[in-house]
């Protein structure tokens, strides 16, 4: 770690940059950078915001003296990479974060003002992308500025990355594109918000994520025939079958599997029961016209399945499908018309051993940076609640973990914010980490 006097100079420089950092996060939040591939968006109407944020951040990198590379796989969706060249003889480090955001939802539900206000209160900055994760991206950049302002230079290269695409696993336009362009390092830290459960934690592992759907088919008839379908002595499937009834049967079966996972799938870095099968969207009814006067012809359930990081994704897929098949065998209609399972996305888990040197380096940097704050002490080591781009840095040969300001519980929701004290402590941690990992003079 840096000598205490040197660390004190850098920590003081971060404090001196507080106003500039807060203003930069606010200004970045004010740029609407919704991922144009996010479901429900019209690509042509939305594309370009990510590139505008990238150009804004490029100026922050240029002011540092970085070699700046603005490039896009798709027009208007620029990534920004700034390489702060070291003097030589040190290890290299990537600081990575994404600048695309999810849509804000209904602005009328935001009590803090416009989703794009970037409003600064005494203790926080409001707006979509503040916690997820423009705050973390700029904290990483200002950490380097603090090192420079304190009069130090790193020995190893520091590679600052503001990338697109993360919100829809479009890593080939973002993080993976940077790797293919040649940006690799001895380690990486992604500034995703650490919480929950603990803020500013060291996060070496994430679950995997499947997106899949289950569709159940029915047999339409007039809705007045429902008694024939459900009552003893009725004609049943000879008349019709309500797909929603059958879909709920399947949904309850999947819920039973989820309950089983709560007992059988555990990991020491995740809260008990974290691995779940979330039914996020349900659509069903007669085809073409959604009215209740026809017995429903189909029901589709869209699931987000958070699976154990040490499990083979193919084994998880087979387990889910086998459970659905077994449940279908218990129902005469589903036995003959089995549910259709479609696998749409697999975001792989990210796993770095908790005793890896980058974990220890972040922990030590945090401990020194957080002295005298509510974050004081050794940071917790925990699993990430969701998924993130560390998976693709690791796949590209860069051992990567995450540590960052913010809280997933306010990301993707109304009135998103990032707390300023978290932002400052994270900035200090990034600065001391870079000095320790890369070496300095």
Helices (H), 79-225: 135-149, 175-180
Beta bridge partners of 34: 101
Q: What is the mean pLDDT of residues 41-62?
A: 98
DSSP calls for 247-290: HHHHHHHHHHHHHHHHHH---TTS-TT---EEEEEEEEESSSS-
Mean pLDDT of the chain: 97
Residue 89: per-residue pLDDT: 96
Q: What is the pLDDT of residues 410-429, one digit of tens each?
A: 999 999 999 999 999 999 99
Query: Is there a contact between 170 and 102 (Cβ–Cβ < 8 Å)?
Result: no
The burial class, CB within 10 Å (0-12 / 13-18 / 19+), for 322 is: exposed
Q: What is the mean pLDDT of residues 13-28?
A: 98
Residue 1: per-residue pLDDT: 83
Helices (H), 300-399: 313-328, 332-336, 357-369, 390-395
Q: How far apart are CA 334 and CA 341, in angstroms?
A: 13
Residue 288: per-residue pLDDT: 83
Beta bridge partners of 23: none
Q: How far apart are CA 279 and CA 324, in angstroms?
A: 14
Alpha carbon separation from 345 to 66, 296, 305, 368 (Å, rounded): 36, 28, 10, 40
Q: How far apart are CA 234 and CA 238, in angstroms?
A: 9
DSSP state of 91: -
Please report the domains of the chain, with CATH numbers, ordered by start residue: 4-206+350-438 (3.40.630.10), 208-347 (3.30.70.360)
State the DSSP H helix or E strand holding residue 172, giving kind and residue range, or none if neither: none
Residue 408: per-residue pLDDT: 96
Q: What is the mean pLDDT of residues 136-165?
A: 98
Alpha carbon separation from 253 to 236, 256, 326 (Å, rounded): 22, 5, 9
Cα dihedral 34→39→40→45 (10° resolution): 40
Residue with tokens 């700034």: 82
What angle do helix axes 313-328 and 243-264 make, rounded to 10 degrees? 130
Residue 263: per-residue pLDDT: 94
- Strand boundaries in 85-148, DSSP class E: 93-98, 124-126
Does position 437 have pLDDT exceeding 90, yes or no?
A: yes
Residue 289: per-residue pLDDT: 87
pTM listed for this prediction: 0.95
Percent of the chain topping pLDDT 90: 99
């Amino acid at each position: 770690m840096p000598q205490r006097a040197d660390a004190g100079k850098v920590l003081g420089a971060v404090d001196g940059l507080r106003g500039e950092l807060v203003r930069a996060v606010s200004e970045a939040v004010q740029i609407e950078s919704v991922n144009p591939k996010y479901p429900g968006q019209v690509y042509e109407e939305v594309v370009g915001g990510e590139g505008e944020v990238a150009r804004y951040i490029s100026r922050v990198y240029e002011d540092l003296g970085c070699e700046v590379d603005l490039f896009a796989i798709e027009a208007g969706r620029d990534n920004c990479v700034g390489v702060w060249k070291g003097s030589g003889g040190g290890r290299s480090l990537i600081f990575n974060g994404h600048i695309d955001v999810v849509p804000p939802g209904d602005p009328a539900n935001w009590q803090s003002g416009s989703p794009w206000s970037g409003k600064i209160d005494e203790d926080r900055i409001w707006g979509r992308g503040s916690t997820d994760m423009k705050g973390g991206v700029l904290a990483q950049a200002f950490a380097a500025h603090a090192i420079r302002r304190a009069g130090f230079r790193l020995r190893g290269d520091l590679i600052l990355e503001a990338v697109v695409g993360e919100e829809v696993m479009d890593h080939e336009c973002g993080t993976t594109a940077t790797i293919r362009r040649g940006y690799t390092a001895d380690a990486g830290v992604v500034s995703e918000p650490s919480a929950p459960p603990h803020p500013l934690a060291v996060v070496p592992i994430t679950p995997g994520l499947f997106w899949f759907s289950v569709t159940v088919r029915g047999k339409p008839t007039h809705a007045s025939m429902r008694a024939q379908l459900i009552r003893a002595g009725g004609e049943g499937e000879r008349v019709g079958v309500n797909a929603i009834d059958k879909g709920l049967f399947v949904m309850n079966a999947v819920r039973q599997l989820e309950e089983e996972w709560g007992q059988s799938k555990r990991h020491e870095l995740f809260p008990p029961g974290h691995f779940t099968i979330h039914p996020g969207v349900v659509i069903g009814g007669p085809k073409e016209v959604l009215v209740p006067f026809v017995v429903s012809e189909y029901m589709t359930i869209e699931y987000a399945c958070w699976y154990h990081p040490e499990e083979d994704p193919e084994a998880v897929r087979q387990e889910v499908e086998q459970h659905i098949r077994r449940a279908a065998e218990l129902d005469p209609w589903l036995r003959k018309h089995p549910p259709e399972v479609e696998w749409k996305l697999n975001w792989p888990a990210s796993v770095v051993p908790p005793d890896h040197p980058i974990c220890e380096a972040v922990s030590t940097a945090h401990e020194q940076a957080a002295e005298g704050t509510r974050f004081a002490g050794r940071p917790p080591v925990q699993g990430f609640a969701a998924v993130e781009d560390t998976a693709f840095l690791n796949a590209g040969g860069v051992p990567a973990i995450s540590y960052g300001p913010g809280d997933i519980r306010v990301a993707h929701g109304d009135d998103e914010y990032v707390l300023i004290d978290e932002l400052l402590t994270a900035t200090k941690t990034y600065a001391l980490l870079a000095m320790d990992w890369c070496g300095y003079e």
